């Protein structure tokens, strides 16, 4: 009797420790984000935490920068357009390269498959600074200007593994017999892929595309090495702005960036949830 | 990879000639990992129109590999596969016109029942009106009325219904040959027996050649016209279910198809008895002549005649050591006077005989087989 009471006591103690630890870690993780969001609503033009009051002043300033005609401010609009274009193109490239690569890794057997697998995963652990320096060397040696494509290429290199992982996971959950059944019913391998495999891994592909989009949109290190006046992404704009004039506008812009990220994550989560419930039924 | 056996065979005739089997395997073999693993070797078989042949064997015997080679999902490393007399080596699966019902059924989960069944016709560019008529007919055949089931998704169907969809999806493309890869393994015994009978009646009604791959000898016996027994990559014996059961070519086949008794016995030379060449169970009767041949005899438990009273001088004395009652039959374990044991299966309870009762055992020579190996 006494023993079981002490066990319950221990379980309570354990639960308390776990709760506290979780709260502290979550607090540390969320504090900067919450601070950025709160400061963005400050009415004063200096940065202080907590803000003395609440206003939408700096959002109005951001709006002016995005949609106004002041030549100095047009940079923000341009950089946002650049970031979205680069992210979109990176997502497209990763999709077209990643889906066949994932298919090869999961379904086919070929010489050097292990090596291929390792190479595909390499950019995840490879230091971005080293990759940035290397790419900068290559790009400056080229006789022509790649424009925003030098960012697209760089982002594709680091984002491709995430695309491949997502699609490979979806493929692994698919019965290989489905495709073979389509073959024996008269569908050529390509047709079977389009009619049977692709619709069934669609969620994996879509969440991969969104993930790659966000990775590219947020990317800083490679962009820092490779940006030019014509290829000037939002992350670099924010960095330079923060380096020169700290005014609450960058917090308002950051809050918008956070919002875009959260939206994409929610969509990805939703798709992933759908995927698992499909498999369970 | 074509072996010399090809040239030894007579030239191919017209493809619709009834003497030519729908499917012919000639010395087919398959190596994996560059010859390190021999999944199948020297397999020869044929299936005629309207015939259903079961390939029966333990798991890992190569039966699934063989079926995948016939369907075109694997390429054989030796031998030839012919469909309607024509070699299909190198022909990809989607051009073979061989239907395959998978173990997992492989129903497309994102398509309705209708779309699943129409898939094969759509791949063959069948006109829309024809697709409608054919899908309706196929669903009718497998007793899934289109009105109720056409728009359902696979997730809303039971195991037995999915089974029917898989069958309809294959039947509708009118394949030259249908292969079944243990598609009923997941169903419970009762439903499986029911489906086996139904599958056979559909197959007979449509007069399609079929191969049913299984490790379940009961289903194989119920379904098939002939059975091919496979073991470690080789076809061991081919024949009707009754044939193989009564005259198994070796010990593996005998044991795989059901319970079997094995007793050591000595054969008596013809000149030393009035019944020439009769077999005498070792030590059971009198003294044996020196130098006679010892041999293993096999017979089924239901072929043992068990009696309380001795009826013939050939009867062998024994004692019941155990009795079990299962599926309406009594299984008697009997120890013979020389110490060997056998199992006898009877419908009667032998007037209440039990452990310790003395009995007389008789086995008709017609029911005794002496397989090699």
Helix or strand holding residue A213 (H, E): helix A198-218
Helix and strand numbers, DSSP H then E, in chain A: 12, 0
Distance, in Å, from the CA atom of A232 to the CA atom of A206, rounded to the nearest integer, reads 27
Across chain B, where does the E strand assignment appear? 23-32, 37-47, 52-56, 78-83, 86-87, 98-101, 177-181, 209-214, 226-231, 234-239, 261-267, 279-281, 293-299, 304-307, 316-326, 329-336, 341-346, 358-363
Q: Are A260 and A216 in contact (CB under 8 A)?
A: no
Helix, coil or strand: residue A104 = helix
Distance, in Å, from the CA atom of B172 to the CA atom of B167, rounded to the nearest integer, reads 9
User: Residue B177: is its pLDDT beyond 50?
Assistant: yes
> What class, spelled out in words, does domain A71-244 have in CATH?
mainly alpha
Q: A–B: how many Cβ contacts below 8 A?
A: 68
Q: Are B297 and B371 in contact (CB under 8 A)?
A: no
Helix or strand holding residue B220 (H, E): helix B217-223
Distance, in Å, from the CA atom of A226 to the CA atom of A224, rounded to the nearest integer, reads 6
The residues pairing with B209 across neighbouring beta strands, listed in sequence order, are: B177
Q: Find the CB nearest B109 among A192, A195, A200.
A: A200
Chain A nearest-CA residue for B71: A184
Distance, in Å, from the CA atom of B124 to the CA atom of A186, rounded to the nearest integer, reads 7
Q: Is the ipTM of this complex over 0.85?
A: no
User: Residue A281: is its pLDDT beyond 60?
Assistant: no
- Judged by CB atoms closer than 8 Å, whether chains meet at B106 and A177 is answered as yes
How many Cα neighbours within 13 Å face the side chain of A7?
Answer: 4
Chain A nearest-CA residue for B108: A178
User: Residue B1: is its pLDDT beyond 60?
Assistant: no
User: What's the gap in Å between the CA of B130 and the closest CA on chain A?
Assistant: 17
- Judged by CB atoms closer than 8 Å, whether chains meet at A191 and B72 is answered as no
Domain ranges, ordered by start, for chain A:
71-244
Confidence band of B14 (pLDDT split at 50, 70, 90): very low
**Tokens 């087989």 belong to residue:** B369
Q: B356-367 in b/e burial notation, b at 16+ Cβ within 10 A? A: ebebbbebeeee
The model's pTM: 0.76
User: Residue B213: is its pLDDT beyond 60?
Assistant: yes
First to last CA, chain B: 31
User: Residue A269: is its pLDDT beyond 50?
Assistant: yes
Confidence band of B356 (pLDDT split at 50, 70, 90): confident
Chain A nearest-CA residue for B118: A185
What is the structure's pLDDT at A199?
A: 93
Helix, coil or strand: residue A172 = helix
* Average pLDDT rounded to a whole number, residues B217-246: 89
* Average pLDDT rounded to a whole number, residues A176-203: 93
The percent of residues above 70 in pLDDT, for chain A, comes to 91
User: Residue A60: is its pLDDT beyond 90?
Assistant: no
Q: Nearest-5° angle of CA B354, CA B356, CA B361?
A: 85
* Average pLDDT rounded to a whole number, residues B217-222: 84
Q: Find the CB nearest B94 among A175, A186, A196.
A: A186
- Residue of higher predicted confidence among B281 and B69: B69
Chain B residues touching A277 at Cβ < 8 A: none
Confidence band of A82 (pLDDT split at 50, 70, 90): very high
pLDDT digits (tens, 9 = 90+) for A167-176: 999 999 899 9
User: Residue A117: is its pLDDT beyond 60?
Assistant: yes
- Please, what is the angle between helix A149-172 and helix A74-107, to 10°? 40
User: Residue B169: is its pLDDT beyond 80?
Assistant: yes
The percent of residues above 90 in pLDDT, for chain A, comes to 44
- Residue of higher predicted confidence among B10 and A259: A259
Q: Find the CB nearest A180 among B73, B96, B119.
A: B73
User: Residue A96: is its pLDDT beyond 90?
Assistant: yes
Confidence band of B291 (pLDDT split at 50, 70, 90): very low
Confidence band of A180 (pLDDT split at 50, 70, 90): very high
> What class, spelled out in words, does domain B261-367 have in CATH?
mainly beta
Chain A residues touching B95 at Cβ < 8 A: 186
Is the preceding omega at residue A50 within 30 degrees of 0, hence cis? yes
Interface of B with A (CB under 8 A): 71-73, 92-100, 102-104, 106, 108-110, 119-120, 123-124, 155, 169-170, 173
Per-window interface: A 152-191 vs B, CB < 8 A: 175, 177-178, 180-189, 191
**Tokens 């096999």 belong to residue:** B298
Distance, in Å, from the CA atom of A235 to the CA atom of A224, rounded to the nearest integer, reads 9
User: What's the gap in Å between the CA of B43 and the closest CA on chain A?
Assistant: 22
Nearest Cα to Cα of residue B340 among B273, B294, B308, B277? B294
Confidence band of B52 (pLDDT split at 50, 70, 90): very high
The residues pairing with B47 across neighbouring beta strands, listed in sequence order, are: B23
What is the structure's pLDDT at B71?
A: 93
Q: Are A279 and A173 in contact (CB under 8 A)?
A: yes
Give how far Cα B368 sits from Cα of A5, A63, B65, B301, B359, Å: 72, 97, 35, 11, 20
Mean pLDDT score across all residues of chain B: 82
Chain B residues touching A278 at Cβ < 8 A: 109
Chain A residues touching B119 at Cβ < 8 A: 182, 185, 187, 195
User: Residue B144: is its pLDDT beyond 50?
Assistant: yes
- Judged by CB atoms closer than 8 Å, whether chains meet at B92 and A188 is answered as yes
Chain A nearest-CA residue for B106: A178
Confidence band of A3 (pLDDT split at 50, 70, 90): low
User: Residue B165: is its pLDDT beyond 90?
Assistant: yes
- Residue of higher predicted confidence among B163 and A73: B163
* Average pLDDT rounded to a whole number, residues B106-119: 94
pLDDT digits (tens, 9 = 90+) for B306-335: 888 888 777 788 899 999 998 889 999 998
Q: B129-161 in b/e burial notation, b at 16+ Cβ within 10 A? A: eebeebbbebbebbebebeebbeebbeebeeeb
Q: B253-275 in b/e burial notation, b at 16+ Cβ within 10 A? A: bbebbeebbebebbebeeeeeee
What is the structure's pLDDT at B275?
A: 43
Distance, in Å, from the CA atom of B297 to the CA atom of B351, rounded to the nearest integer, reads 29
First to last CA, chain A: 45
Mean pLDDT score across all residues of chain A: 86
What is the structure's pLDDT at B146?
A: 87
Which range has the top average pLDDT, A51-65, B93-107, B246-260, B275-289? B93-107
- Judged by CB atoms closer than 8 Å, whether chains meet at A177 and B103 is answered as yes
Confidence band of B277 (pLDDT split at 50, 70, 90): very low
What is the structure's pLDDT at B269?
A: 52
pLDDT digits (tens, 9 = 90+) for A215-249: 999 999 999 999 988 889 999 988 988 888 777 78
Confidence band of B46 (pLDDT split at 50, 70, 90): very high
Helix or strand holding residue A264 (H, E): helix A249-280
pLDDT digits (tens, 9 = 90+) for A202-217: 989 999 999 999 999 9
Helix and strand numbers, DSSP H then E, in chain B: 10, 18
What is the structure's pLDDT at B9?
A: 39
Using a CB–CB cutoff of 8 Å, tell me whether A274 touches chain B: no
* Average pLDDT rounded to a whole number, residues B345-350: 87
Domain ranges, ordered by start, for chain B:
261-367
- Judged by CB atoms closer than 8 Å, whether chains meet at B71 and A184 is answered as yes
User: What's the gap in Å between the CA of B351 and the closest CA on chain A?
Assistant: 56
């Amino acid at each position: 009797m006494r023993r079981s009471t002490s066990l319950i006591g221990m379980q309570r103690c354990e639960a308390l420790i776990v709760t506290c630890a979780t709260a502290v870690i979550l607090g540390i993780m969320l504090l900067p984000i919450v601070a950025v969001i709160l400061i963005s609503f400050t009415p004063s033009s200096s940065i202080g935490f907590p803000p003395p009051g609440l206003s939408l002043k700096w959002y109005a300033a951001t709006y002016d920068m995005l949609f106004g005609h002041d030549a100095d401010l047009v940079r923000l609009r341009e950089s946002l357009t650049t970031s979205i274009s680069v992210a979109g193109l990176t997502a497209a490239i990763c999709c077209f390269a990643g889906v066949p690569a994932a298919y090869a890794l999961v379904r086919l057997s070929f010489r050097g498959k292990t090596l291929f697998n390792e190479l595909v995963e390499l950019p995840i652990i490879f230091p971005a600074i080293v990759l940035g320096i290397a790419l900068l060397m290559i790009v400056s040696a080229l006789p022509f200007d790649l424009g925003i494509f030098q960012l697209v290429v760089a982002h594709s290199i680091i984002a491709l593994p995430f695309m491949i992982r997502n699609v490979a996971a979806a493929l692994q959950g698919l019965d290989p017999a489905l495709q073979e059944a389509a073959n024996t019913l008269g569908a050529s391998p390509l047709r079977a892929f389009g009619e049977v495999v692709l619709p069934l891994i669609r969620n994996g592909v879509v969440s991969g595309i969104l993930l790659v989009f966000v990775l590219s949109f947020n990317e800083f290190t490679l962009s820092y090495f490779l940006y030019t006046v014509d290829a000037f992404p939002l992350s670099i704009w924010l960095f330079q702005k923060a380096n020169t004039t700290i005014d609450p506008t960058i917090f308002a812009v950051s809050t918008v960036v956070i919002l875009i990220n959260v939206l994409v994550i929610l969509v990805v989560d939703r798709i992933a949830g759908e995927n698992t419930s499909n498999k369970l039924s | 990879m074509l072996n010399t056996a090809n040239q030894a065979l007579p030239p191919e005739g017209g493809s619709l000639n009834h003497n030519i089997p729908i499917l012919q395997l000639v010395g087919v073999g398959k190596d994996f990992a560059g010859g390190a693993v021999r999944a199948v070797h020297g397999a020869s078989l044929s299936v005629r129109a309207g015939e259903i042949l079961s390939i029966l064997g333990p798991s890992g015997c190569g039966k699934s590999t063989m079926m995948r080679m016939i369907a075109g999902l694997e390429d054989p490393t030796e031998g030839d596969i012919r469909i309607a007399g024509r070699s299909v080596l190198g022909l990809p699966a989607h051009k073979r016109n061989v239907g395959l019902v998978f173990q997992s059924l492989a129903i497309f989960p994102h398509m309705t029942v209708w779309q699943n069944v129409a898939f094969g016709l759509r791949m063959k560019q069948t006109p829309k009106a024809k697709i409608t008529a054919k899908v309706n007919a196929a669903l009718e055949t497998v007793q899934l009325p289109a009105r109720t089931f056409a728009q359902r998704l696979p997730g809303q169907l039971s195991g037995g219904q999915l089974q029917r969809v898989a069958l309809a999806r294959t039947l509708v493309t009118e394949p030259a040959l249908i292969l079944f890869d243990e598609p009923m393994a997941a169903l419970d015994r009762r439903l499986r027996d029911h489906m086996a009978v139904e599958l056979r009646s559909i197959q007979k009604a449509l007069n399609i050649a079929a191969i049913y791959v299984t490790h379940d000898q009961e289903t194989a016996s119920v379904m098939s016209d002939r059975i091919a027994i496979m073991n470690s990559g080789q076809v061991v014996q081919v024949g009707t279910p009754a044939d193989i059961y009564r005259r198994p070519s070796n010990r593996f086949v005998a044991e795989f198809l059901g319970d079997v008794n094995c007793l050591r016995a000595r054969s008596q030379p013809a000149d030393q008895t009035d019944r020439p060449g009769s077999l005498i169970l070792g030590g059971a009767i009198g003294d044996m002549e020196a130098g006679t041949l010892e041999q293993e005899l096999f017979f089924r438990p239901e072929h043992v005649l068990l009696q309380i009273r001795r009826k013939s001088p050939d009867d062998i004395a024994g004692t019941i050591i155990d009795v079990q009652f299962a599926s309406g039959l009594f299984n008697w374990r009997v120890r013979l006077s020389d110490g060997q044991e056998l199992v006898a299966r009877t419908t009667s309870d032998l007037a209440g005989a039990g452990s310790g009762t003395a009995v007389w055992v008789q086995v008709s020579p017609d029911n005794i087989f002496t397989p090699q190996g």
